[in-house]
Amino acid sequence: MPHQTEPQITGVTMSVGTVFLEALLTGVITPAELHWVTAHQGDFNRLEEATALRLGRLLDAGAIQLGCRIRS
């Protein structure tokens, strides 16, 4: 079961998977999402840990930027 808590991404309760997919889709991770990932990393299962690590590697490589998303 994914670890869920506030805030929300476009009406979906946040999980590592939703943060990862939204970041891949837009190329951006928000500071609130990054904070959520780091605050909950101690509760992640192995799959969630692997997803968070991949997210970090994409940030390090510059494939995902830290910023904000503008919705139209």
User: Can you give the pTM of this predicted structure?
Assistant: 0.79
Which phi and psi (to 5°) does residue 14 adopt?
A: -70, 135
CA–CA distance, 65 with 68 (Å, rounded to integer):
9
pLDDT confidence of residue 27: 95
For residue 41, give both structure tokens: 């990393």
User: pLDDT for 48-64, tens place per residue?
Assistant: 999 999 999 999 999 99
- Give the β-pairing of 12-14 and 65-66: unpaired
**CA triple 40-53-60, angle to 5 deg:** 115
- The amino acid at 57: R
The tens place of each residue's pLDDT in the chain, 72 residues long, gives 455 444 555 555 789 999 999 999 999 999 999 999 999 999 999 999 999 999 999 999 999 999 998 876
Mean pLDDT of the chain: 86
CA–CA distance, 72 with 67 (Å, rounded to integer):
16
